Structure 1
Amino acid sequence: MKVSSPRRHRPRLEIIPFIDVMFFLLATFMIMSLAMVKNPGVAVQLPKAQTSASEERKEKEVTLTITDKGDVFFDHDKVSTAELPGKLAALKAEAGPDKAKVFLNSDRKATFDNVVGVLDEIRKQGISKIAIQTERAEKAR
């Protein structure tokens, strides 16, 4: 009596779990890289605007923050209105006339007079690239 040996089948490679793991790793790295982006400004309650858009940050940029009490911060350093022109002039000299960029960050409860005063000082120094930061507002339905 002849006994036949069972046929050997090649093992199946399951690719679906491999794809799931790769997508999980991709999503994790994307979320972690987004969490690494830091805003150098002081935390304030930004006004909301439906036309908000994100801006890319480069090296020769600074965030000017105006708090609800009227304090002005140059990145994280508190500056007086007398010190602000010198800091802006140094930024423009370091970056070049066309490359200096200022992100204007203002608390929604800050007075319009304070915001316009800082904006006017930025323009007096010849810096024309100014981005006013806002939060995206929910669309009314």
Structure 2
Amino acid sequence: MKLRDRRSFDKPEVMIIPMIDIMFFLLVFFMISTLSMVDLKTIDVNMPKAQHVQTNLAVTYLVTVRKDGSLWLEDKPISEDDLIERAQAENKRTERFAVAVRADEDVDYGKLMELLDRFKGAGISRFALAAEGK
């Protein structure tokens, strides 16, 4: 039986292209899974639609005003006085404190302005009004 010479065997090679494919697959997988982990603690409201909407997830307080006029801080109901007190205390602690208000499109405009006026009276000057993109 004749065996091949040791020098005739190919040297082992590392296949780079499949490794790059796997790395890109893992990158995409982790990007998508990270996006699904973002947990916005909010409740459902029928927000008004706007064409030029910007997304900003770096808001300190997310306040929701439902159609019945109830106020929610993230996903918990709260009274207006407690909301203003907490926001005022947080505003003193945090330099770039901001409040985003998500309001149902059927909420009375006057009630929304009263809430914003109370925030302004508490010394909070950074507001955002949330809307859904078209």
- The TM-score normalised by the length of structure 1 is 0.77
Equivalent-residue separation in structure 1 for 2:109 and 2:76 (angstroms): 22
Cα displacement string for residues 6-58 of structure 1 (whole angstroms, at most 9, x for unaligned residues): 62222443322222211111011111222222223323222222211111416
Matching residue of 2:45: 44
Residue 50 of structure 1 aligns with an amino acid whose one-letter code is Q
Alpha-carbon offset, residue 63 of structure 1: 0.9
- Supply the AA of the counterpart residue of 2:23: M
Let me know the Cα RMSD of the aligned residues. Answer: 2.3
Structure 1 residue aligned with 2:91: 92
Partner of 2:114: 117
1:105 positional shift: 1.0
The reply on whether 1:32 has 2:33 as its aligned counterpart is yes
Counterparts of residues 51-130 of structure 1 (less than 5 Å): 51-57=52-58, 61-95=60-94, 98-130=95-127
Offset of 1:104 from its aligned partner?
Answer: 0.9
Per the TM alignment, residue 117 of structure 1 is displaced from its structure 2 partner at its CA by 1.9
Figure out how many residues of one structure are paired with residues of the other and give that number.
131
Q: Which has the higher helix share?
A: 2
The residue type paired with residue 33 of structure 2 is M
Q: Percent same amino acid at aligned positions? A: 27
* Deviation readout 1:97-136 (Å, 9 max, x if unpaired): x422111111223222222221221111121111212222
Please report how far the alpha carbon of residue 4 of structure 1 lies from its aligned counterpart in structure 2 after TM superposition: 8.7
The one-letter code of the counterpart of 1:123 is K
Contact kept, 8 Å, 1:101 with 1:129, in 2: the verdict is yes
Compared CA separation, residues 5 and 85, structure 1 to 2 (3 A): closer
